[in-house]
């Protein structure tokens, strides 16, 4: 299994890293939240730019980034426009989506860019190649808020992301039962041990799936999401609680 290094953080090795999302509408709120991260355990910050009030003005997005990066004080930054079809705040046309992500990568201010893997193969390949051209890593993602697919389908989706050239495949699914959570965890083990040659991120959402956010070191997920203020997805728990459980499990499985 190859690891992925962003700044001082290595994904795919040891304890799953903690990513905290910023979900705020104004530049002032975004920067204030970033500054507050100095007091919590956070390895990666995700800017959910679909929440930003001026997201469709690229110059205003860049203006936020110019102040956001220093505020994070070397914490790696994941740039994410989560589309409404995958649970985000806004819709966007594929061409505008591609241009936004490539333009942001070109600034050199972000470390990772999230690319929704089922936007269309040609657009996805274009974005991945464009982002990679600037030395930025890609998290390919898929979010199924309606159900938990079969383990074979989950593995298929993750392998497709890997084949498209993403540095880190990611999938989040919605459980309807406890068995759905086991389906996601089994798929994670199979993917990480049999097919993946890079870190993967998986999670089962909502309260039923919270165990999947805690046990990545056991089952093979390299990153987990915790909430500092506002959760960006169902089932995220507080960062400090998350950190404590990850440390406890790590000590227990050594």
The CA–CA distances, whole Å, from 2 to 11, 58, 81 equal 9, 34, 26
For residue 180, the model assigns a pLDDT of 98
For residue 234, the model assigns a pLDDT of 60
pLDDT tens sequence across 31-41 = 999 999 998 99
Question: Cβ distance 76 to 57 under 8 Å?
Answer: no
Residue 46 annotated as lining a ligand binding site: yes
Tokens representing 136 are 């930025």
8 Cβ neighbours under 8 A, 6+ residues apart: 74
The full set of domain ranges for the chain reads 4-243
Task: Tell me the backbone φ, ψ of residue 166, rounded to 5 degrees.
Answer: -65, 145
Residue 159 annotated as lining a ligand binding site: no
Q: Which of 93, 84, 134, 96 is nearest to 112 (CA)?
A: 134
pLDDT tens sequence across 62-112 = 999 999 999 999 999 999 999 999 999 999 999 999 999 999 999 999 999
Q: With a threshold of 0.85, does the pTM exceed it?
A: yes
Task: Tell me the backbone φ, ψ of residue 228, rounded to 5 degrees.
Answer: -90, -50
Of 17, 102, 151, 170, the catalytic one is 170
Does the active-site annotation cover 143?
Answer: yes
For residue 235, the model assigns a pLDDT of 62
Residue 254 annotated as lining a ligand binding site: no
3-class DSSP state for residue 49? helix
For residue 231, the model assigns a pLDDT of 54
Low-confidence ranges of the chain (pLDDT < 50): none
For residue 191, the model assigns a pLDDT of 98
Residue 47 annotated as lining a ligand binding site: yes
Tokens representing 238 are 């507080």
For residue 28, the model assigns a pLDDT of 98
3-class DSSP state for residue 160? helix
Distance CA 105, CA 19 (A): 19
Distance CA 199, CA 180 (A): 22
According to CATH, the superfamily of the domain at 4-243 is Aldolase class I (3.20.20.70)
Of 17, 102, 137, 143, the catalytic one is 143
For residue 228, the model assigns a pLDDT of 84
| Cross-strand bridge partners of residue 98 | none
Residue 53 annotated as lining a ligand binding site: no
Distance CA 192, CA 146 (A): 24
Q: Which of 191, 202, 204, 56 is nearest to 141 (CA)?
A: 202
Question: Cβ distance 89 to 50 under 8 Å?
Answer: yes
Tokens representing 71 are 């505020």
For residue 87, the model assigns a pLDDT of 93
């Amino acid at each position: 299994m190859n690891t992925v290094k962003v700044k001082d953080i290595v994904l795919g090795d040891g304890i799953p890293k903690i990513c905290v999302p910023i979900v705020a509408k104004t530049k002032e709120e975004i920067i204030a939240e970033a500054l507050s991260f100095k007091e919590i355990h956070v390895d990666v910050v995700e800017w959910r730019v679909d929440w930003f009030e001026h997201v469709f003005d690229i110059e205003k997005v860049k203006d936020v980034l110019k102040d956001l990066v220093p505020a994070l004080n070397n914490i790696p930054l994941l740039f994410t426009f989560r589309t409404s079809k995958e649970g985000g705040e806004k819709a966007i046309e594929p061409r505008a989506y591609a241009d936004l992500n490539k333009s942001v990568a070109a600034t050199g201010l972000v470390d990772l860019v999230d690319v929704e893997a089922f936007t269309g193969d040609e657009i996805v390949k274009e974005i991945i190649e464009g982002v990679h051209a600037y030395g930025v890593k890609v998290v390919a993602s898929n979010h199924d808020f309606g159900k938990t697919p079969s383990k074979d389908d989950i593995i298929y989706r993750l392998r497709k992301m890997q084949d498209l050239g993403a540095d880190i495949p990611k999938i989040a699914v919605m459980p309807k039962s406890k068995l759905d959570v086991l389906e996601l965890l089994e798929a994670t083990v199979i993917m990480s041990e049999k097919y993946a040659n890079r870190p993967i991120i998986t999670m089962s959402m909502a309260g039923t799936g919270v165990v999947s956010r805690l046990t990545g070191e056991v089952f093979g997920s390299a990153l987990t999401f915790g909430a500092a203020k506002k959760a960006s997805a169902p089932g995220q728990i507080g960062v400090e609680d998350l950190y404590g459980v990850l440390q406890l499990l790590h000590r227990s499985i050594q």
